[in-house]
Structure 1
Amino acid sequence: MLCFRVIFWGIVLIVWAIPGFFLVGIIGRLGGFRPGSKPGPVGKVFGWFGIVFLGGMMLGVCVVAGLIDWGISSFVAGLPEHPPNGPPFFEHQPQGDQHPSLQQRPSPRAIPPEWVDAKMEKVFLSDLQEFGIRVGWGSFGKRGDLGYDVFQNRRIVVNGQPSPNGISMHPPAFGFSTVKYRLNRAYKLFIGDAALTDVENPGFRPQTPAQFCVLGDNQLLWRSLQLDRAAAAEWCRINVEGVDILELQVHCPGGHSHVRAVWLEPHLLK
């Protein structure tokens, strides 16, 4: 950004310095001033007029250039920053960083009909202590926080609706993001919507489709379709009875630009 400003203001000064000297000379000539002669009353008037006119023009150009500089700086400041050790926005990581869960076949467990959601106790994942976190952009977000800025917005929004208990886990390029929770075999159901935020616009498409996975004690319990557009979502309701470690993953087999993966209101029932 500093390099851009130096170049930008250097161009502004050069563009106006060169024609400025010619303009002063032309105004002096019109006033009858010649090199080696003393200016008369008319020459003095034209001389002062030239100085004031040129000064006003340069001041106006500097104001306009300053506004352009401020606008570009504000736009750049609003872009999300990659983490110190994370990949730049369009950088690809080496292939092969995929979890075996993509090769597994989901083995969902049957849900007993007597398990009625409305009669069970609800606990949001945002209220539990997470561990084993890995994301490819920004930071892990919980309680509706994206974990990074998108046009100065940090909240999880899908189809125009906020998710106050949502979690965010932007995957890395050619890899996967992950977060784990210790359930201590105390819960029966996991429910939530795997989705991509539409904070930019509903038709926005990520660089690569994302695929969500849910594992219980390293066993694949559920896998989503490939979500390939903003606001795309898929509901998940699975049996986690007897599970000690619950793991959520988001896989990105290509570039990760705009793969804004989130879980909407993910919670457990017991």
Structure 2
Amino acid sequence: MGQASGELERIVHEVANLVKQGYALTNVLKQVAGELIKDSSFNKMVFNEVRDSMVKISPGNVPVGLFTQCSMIPGYYLAGKSPSVNWGDISMHLLGKMLHNLAINELKARIGNRCVEGVEVMYNYDSWTLRGKPDLDCGDYYLEFKTIMGRVTKSRLLHDLIQAGFYSVAGKKNTYILYLVLIDGIFRTIVPIEVIPEVGGMVLYAFRLWVNSVKKGNIGALTAKTTSCRVCRFRDICIMRSRNPHEIVLPGRELLDDYLEYMKEEVAKAGVRVID
């Protein structure tokens, strides 16, 4: 992006300073948005860059982050559907990336060479590939960063859990989710959750079901919803919008339920309220 890259780097630097100084997240967002809208050409450039980087789904490329949000989403991409995207979505996307990268860089600076940037892990089934990249590879385990506010849904925790489970089973080592907890927009603490490979086995099972249904031309056969439909970019065209999406019944669901209870208890200790 040429000059724009330098501008983005400057904004990231400013956001990092604001967060370290304890500014409310809403103030951070106002600062970022204010910088971005000053230059309409830059505004359009960033918008187009994010829009053009939308994931292209194919048999060799099904990102686990999308699949574990809702199995309808990769199906829509596969069918050539375009998600809705607006400046508000992009602003939040950029802000989330800034905070996320800040956390990773801070940790890397503190732990030295112990961890490196994660490389992609994959699971292949019948010419289809489910793939994803953990944030950091620390040799014996992975680290995955997630930012949560003062409240979080149970379905959000489930999404994070099965995504981390995929990293564990595909990479053959445990994954730690590091929840970066913000209360009233101010960083409070980190909650670590260890996820074992057994959890990921359920993700692979669901993926096989999904591949088999897609091959039969039915992208809606599996509707494993783990995040809110209200924030889905396909909500306006989703064939499930008039129905109640449900979570797929997975083998070993008891293990998932136990993990969810543990996660809820741990984040609650940090002042995070878990809602249904």
- Per the normalisation by structure 2, the TM-score is 0.24
More strand by share: 1
More helix by share: 2
Structure of greater Rg: 1
- Per the normalisation by structure 1, the TM-score is 0.24
